[in-house]
Structure 1
Amino acid sequence: MIELDEIDRALLRALERDAAQSASALGRNLGLSQPATWRRIKRLEAGGVIAGRRLRLNAEALGFGVTVFLGIKLATRGRVSLDDFERAVSAIPEVQTVEHVLGLFDYRLRVVARDLPDFERVLRRRIMTLPGAGEVEANVLLSEERLPGPL
């Protein structure tokens, strides 16, 4: 595990707020030069602390008005490999996240669709036909009160 000092932590907080900031702007706010800031960012990336940077899109603005969380229990445990299921479900563009979980279900998926009929099409034609897909529970997202924030 990489050792973090207060400047590293401040840098991570600043990047969590806005990952598009330049090293120069970050350095000015932290009292560092651009090269020193860049070296710290590269060290944090190489150490695995920064796993990547992503752009968060507004699904609704792009025409995806429905988000559904699915719990999926595999029907034939042991007969279908988890890797095969994960590979197949990850290939479905409407599936935003695939989480292997412990509990009532084996997997938790976040699925986006244009509307409920579109979600039904994705569920029937794509998800329910996956190798090993068994019991499914759907929860439609009504609102999102808090987005993922700083660790």
Structure 2
Amino acid sequence: MIDLDETDRQILQALARDSSQSAGALGRALGLSQPATWRRIKRLEATGIIRGRRLRLNAEALGFGVTVFLGVKLARKGQVSLDDFERAVSAIPEVQTVEHVLGLYDFRLRVVARDLSDFERVLRRRIMALPGAGDLEANVLLSEERRPGPIG
């Protein structure tokens, strides 16, 4: 773990709010030069603190009005490996994230669909058809608010 100073924390907070900011714009906002800001960002990337920047799409604007968090418990852990299930479920386009978790379920999936009947189709024909898929629990997302992470 590297020691983060206040400037590093400010950079991380600013990038968490808007990762598309240039090093020059970020530096101006923080009172740093562009090269100094760029070096700090590169150091944070090299040490693994920043693992990348990603584009966040508006699923609803793209026609996917339903988001469901799906807990999946494997039925036959001995016959189907966790890696095999994770690889198979990751190939389903509607599955946005796959998280291997500890608890009642083995996996937590974020699934998008056009509507509830489309989700039912994805669930029955794709997810439940996977080898090893056992107990399921679906939670439909009602609203979402992005909160800043634990930096600060």
Question: Shorter-chain TM-score: which interval?
Answer: over 0.9
Residue by residue, what CA displacement relative to the aligned partner does 1:115-151 show, whole Å, maximum 9, x if unpaired? 111111111111011121011111111222x224222
Question: 1:8 — aligned with what?
Answer: 8
SS of alignment partner, residue 36 of structure 1 = helix
1:32 Cα deviation (Å)?
1.1
Question: 1:19 — aligned with what?
Answer: 19
Identify unmatched segments of 5+ residues in structure 2: none
Question: 2:129 — aligned with what?
Answer: 129
Question: 2:146 — aligned with what?
Answer: 147
- Asked if residue 56 in structure 1 is aligned to residue 56 in structure 2, the reply is yes
SS of alignment partner, residue 86 of structure 1 = helix
1:31 Cα deviation (Å)?
1.4
1:68 Cα deviation (Å)?
0.9
SS of alignment partner, residue 53 of structure 1 = coil
After TM superposition, the score normalised by the length of structure 2 is 0.94
Letter in 1 for 2:25: A
After TM superposition, the score normalised by the length of structure 1 is 0.95
**Distance in 2 between residues matched to 1:141 and 1:35, nearest whole Å:** 42
Q: Which consecutive aligned stretches of 4+ in structure 1 deviate over 6 angstroms post-superposition?
A: none
Residue by residue, what CA displacement relative to the aligned partner does 1:86-115 show, whole Å, maximum 9, x if unpaired? 001111110111111111111111100001
**Distance in 1 between residues matched to 2:143 and 2:43, nearest whole Å:** 38
RMSD: 1.0
SS of alignment partner, residue 38 of structure 2 = helix
SS of alignment partner, residue 2 of structure 2 = coil
Identify unmatched segments of 5+ residues in structure 1: none
**Distance in 1 between residues matched to 2:27 and 2:142, nearest whole Å:** 40
What percentage of residue pairs aligned between the two structures are identical?
Answer: 81
Residue by residue, what CA displacement relative to the aligned partner does 1:13-50 show, whole Å, maximum 9, x if unpaired? 11111111110011111111111111100000000000
**Distance in 1 between residues matched to 2:68 and 2:39, nearest whole Å:** 41
Letter in 2 for 1:37: T
